[in-house]
A and B are shown apart, each in its own frame.
Chain A
Amino acid sequence: MKRRDFLAATAASALPLACRRKPEFSFPGELMGPDLPLGHWVRGGIFPDPGCFEPVSVLIVGGGVAGLSAAWRLAGAGLDDFQVLELEAAPGGTSRSAQNHVSPYPWAAHYLPVPDRGNHAVLRLLKECGVLEGFNAKGDPLFAEEATVRAPEERLFAYGQWWEGLYLRAGSSTEDERQYHTFFAEVDRWAAFKDTKGRPAFSIPRSRCSDAPEARALDSLSFATWLEARGLDSPRLRWLLDYACRDDYGSRLETTSAWAGLFYFAARKQGPGEDSRPLLTWPQGNGFFIDHLRQASGERLHCGVMATAIRPDGKDLLVTAWDVPNQRRLGFRAQRVIFAGPQHVARHVIEGFSAARPASTRIRNAPWLVANLTLRARPPEAGFPLAWDNVLRDSEALGYVVATHQSLRDHGPTIWTWYRPFAGPDCDAERARLRAMDWPACARMVMDDLRPAHPDLEKLVTRLDVMRWGHAMVRPAPGLLWDPEFLALTLPFGGIHFAHTELSGLALFEEAQDHGLRAAEEVLAALSHGGGSWR
């Protein structure tokens, strides 16, 4: 598809909207990127070489958390001869954020569990951002009060009213309670696990996790099967765990590895029998980190630039790219490339990659729909008051997060970020479904979902913007996470080093950062640019 055709097609698809007499909704809104046609354009295109190839030591392809973290690491080591190419108009990937007259707000990832004292990379970043305030007498890190999620953190809508917390205690039977405790005793058991080398079974990032056979064995079954084997069939418990799978992995109990299911809970424990780690958040969600990390790249970050081909040339790599805003071809001659994009893009861009790395096709990404609703006021309601995270039990969506919660604004206008993973078993079919949705269809999905809890919400909405994420997060399907061929995808390919959260099989900020640092440190070592590890 040529760009002109694409523009014509977009204009044509907008036409029926413009002709409609009475709009279905009283509020306006926009259907936002990621730029699907542009991204898919790379697949079939033939791109002539540019006139010249600009020499650069390191070229980073991808300006999400992994790419920006790699740049942060290189700059930290004094290696300043690098460039970062980002396809989208703004950096950040799924940690992107935006701002309007009411508040900054996230477009996807919106929190980080506080790191333990062994997660040096995240602690370093938090210290730079002014969030890590010091350490207590036991050596545990202390974090700024304004960055830890303000109470009330979560509430659940069920039986026509809001309840505190996500697990519905009201009306639970003694059997429900027993199973709840049985499950969390199992989590505690795994939180206490140490292998012969002293490594925990579950830790963040997963490069710190034990590869002991008893832990790895969990990956061979689905979370649903694992629960069945323990007789854990309480509907309330299963709802909570299924919610966790949808929230963190975009999949369901049946399509999530039991290892990943336990990872979600055990890796966040402060210790066996202790509470989960508190969460850190900001009005713009993890966009807070992007605002900081992009400073390390400065002028070397180029947005709207799509790498179209990467091929070896002697000891170097030739990278061609398309500068979308300026409509021109670019070329780079790099000593090393850090490919910080997803594997399905690598298959189209890197010469010889798809034949050499068949395992790259095993990665499946769940699509997501995210909506930001700007409200002129909060709806009046009964029951437990508005929290940070507001979840509707009888819904395929995940509820909404309140952007003004952390900025302490309890009155007046606000922004709600609503999330819905397309968690059906077939990612491609789900993606096709999402791609077919226009703005009214998306808005209808959002408003229909929220109506049981907020029947009169429409009057308060001043804008509803939606983002369709085709490849929002990798799914940790059973058998993927400890598959040797999958794990080998992190190895360099020629002079190309890989950094992306999907290489962990888990879509987490910490994983993306860890891969970014690993790739950057591989490059630093290869270019004899010494220094210790930040990981």
Chain B
Amino acid sequence: MSEPIEQSQPALKAPLLFISVLLIASCGLIYELVAGTLSSYLLGDSVTQFSTVIGVYLSAMGLGSWLSKFLNRGLARRFVDLELAVALVGGFSAPILFQAFAHTHAFRVVLYSVVMAVGTLVGLEIPILMRILKDQVRFKDLVAGVLTLDYIGALFASLLFPLLLMPKLGLVRTSLLFGLLNAAVGLWSTHLLKSQLGVTTWIRFRCLAVMALLALGLAFAGKFTLAVEEEIFADEIVYARDSDYQRIVLTRGRGSFQLFLNGNLQFSSADEYRYHEALVHPAFGLRPDAKRVLVCGGGDGLAVREVLKHPSVQEVVLVDLDPAMTDMASKQPMVRLLNGAALDDPRVKVINADAMVWLQETSGAPFDLAFVDFPDPNTYALGKLYTSRFYRLLQRRLTEDGMITVQSTSPLMARQSFWCITATMEASGLKVRPFHLAVPSFGVWGFALASKHDFEVPSRVLPGLRHLSDEATAAMFAFPKDMDRVPTEVNRLDNQVLVHLYAREWRRWS
């Protein structure tokens, strides 16, 4: 070194302060990535979200840099305070944004405000740190050192975020963790800048308080994620489980409870009786002495509950893919109460298998009645359960005068899909009588009643039901003009037209 460094002030630990540049640069980029990812995740259109978040963030950093010239006294103290501010706003940015999405209609306003605030604070950091160091290090070394580490820190963050942080921690924990890191840099700075700070007790206490707050956030992050989901589900979550096949969520609110599979409503306890009475009793109206009954899907046990109301029934076989679902239906108190512990009835046998594979690979005594209650055909794996091949396989396991009822989506909202299911059942050789009713949680809902031979629509049902009467049953089979039959293709294994039809029709309503 040719120029001697003035030793008028006690020496700061300049190399160690450079390390804090590396850390705060990483933190700064992480907040930016969290905001970009979170807004893409919640709003979609990731190109727009990332572009606008990065743009706002960088310009806010510019604003921060400009504002730094108005800070003149007590720079070291300002720097520590700044770290704590970044730690709080940046660290809590993901929880704040999730809450804003769930609770307010102004998510974008909150989003850009948070991005703006974090950007401005981060923009202040580097100029202030450089000014603290300017008397310790030659200018050219200072600029080179600070900017080098600033950019390298950004690289660390940009690699860590997608490879490690997002997959292992998720957004909320990542933002809180880096907030904690920012606050730790603040605490560490009180040590590095001690010569300029004077008494540090109070400022260190503040650092520790901010860190404790963020650590608390981290500890409750798991509960928080569930809470966010609750906001999106509108009601309190009482049960949530990721099975091998789907996410099962049970919510409670407004005097009823609801089951969601992968976020799609399966039933609400307020009006499921309408749906399940319509699924089960019309077929029994035509075969009141049915003894052996097959239920495909319907792992919630509600269809089985209706089936067991018929004293003639001797055996019910329930085939549902997901053991987690049938397990919940027999153990979760609310669901068990709703289905009347139907799955524990000695007449009921539960089989956890893909119903189509089960039909194809097993044989046994034929069934008098079969109820088919699958989720709507929104994937190929579900679409196969609505093909002519499925209905042929099902017929093989049916007595000669057996009846089938199939839940077949909404004839109003997915009119072509509904009639495609009817046409497909007909192509498999069945005689089909479709019908519909209103289920408030779902809208207008449709079913198809079918048999190998022609039949008259049922005119009698079990007395004492909540919704169906003899008259109401017959009335379900009339279709008003806007739901009446439309020509469609047949849904076969090798074309799966229903999956495409269904996706197109429901897109209009979502």
Contact = CB atoms under 8 A, between A and B. Distances in A.
Interface stretch (A146-154, A206-214, A442-450): A146-154
A410 B384 CA distance: 10
B192 to A, nearest CB: 41
B379 interface: yes
A149 B384 contact: no
A278 B495 CA distance: 10
Interface string A61-86: 00000000000000000000000000
B379 A145 contact: no
Contacts of A410: 354, 380-381, 384
A408 interface: yes
B488 to A, nearest CB: 16
B245 interface: yes
Interface in B362-383: 379-381, 383
Nearest to B392: A145
B493 A150 contact: yes
A411 B357 CA distance: 11
Interface string B156-191: 000000000000000000000000000000000000
A145 B387 contact: yes
Contacts of B379: 385
Contacts of B357: 407-409
Contacts of A145: 387-389, 392, 492-494
A153 B495 CA distance: 9
Nearest to B322: A411
B354 A150 contact: no
Nearest to A149: B494
Contacts of A408: 354, 356-357, 360, 384
Nearest to B427: A145
B387 A409 contact: no
A148 B493 contact: yes
A151 B245 contact: no
Contact of B494 (A151, A385, A407, A409): A151
B284 to A, nearest CB: 30
A139 B47 CA distance: 54
Question: Which of A149, A150, A409 counts the most B-chain CB atoms under 10 A from its CB?
Answer: A150
Nearest to A143: B494
Interface in B99-125: none
B37 interface: no
Interface in A134-169: 145-146, 148-153
Nearest to A153: B494
B496 interface: yes
Question: Which of A385, A408, A409, A411 counts the most B-chain CB atoms under 10 A from its CB?
Answer: A408
Interface string B335-358: 000000000000000000010110
B245 A152 contact: no
Contacts of B354: 408-411
Interface residues on chain A, size class: 10 to 19
A146 B244 contact: no
Given A407-B357, A408-B357, A152 B244 contact: no
Nearest to A407: B357
Contact of A151 (B360, B392, B496): B496
Nearest to B390: A408
Nearest to B379: A385
B321 interface: yes
Contacts of A409: 354, 357
Interface in A357-410: 385, 407-410
B496 A146 contact: no
A506 B380 CA distance: 35
Contacts of B389: 145-146
Interface string B385-416: 00111001000000000000000000000000
A345 to B, nearest CB: 39
A411 B499 CA distance: 18
B470 to A, nearest CB: 39
A153 B494 CA distance: 8
B244 A151 contact: no
Nearest to A280: B494
30 contacts: A145-B392, A146-B360, A148-B494, A149-B494, A150-B384, A150-B493, A150-B494, A150-B496, A151-B380, A151-B493, A151-B494, A151-B495, A151-B496, A152-B380, A153-B494, A385-B379, A407-B357, A407-B360, A408-B354, A408-B356, A408-B357, A408-B360, A409-B357, A410-B354, A410-B381, A410-B384, A411-B244, A411-B245, A411-B321, A411-B354
Interface of B: 244-245, 321, 354, 356-357, 360, 379-381, 383-384, 387-389, 392, 492-496, 499
Q: Would you list the 7 A-B pairs with minimal beta carbon distance, nearest first?
A: A151-B496, A410-B381, A148-B494, A145-B389, A150-B493, A408-B356, A145-B493
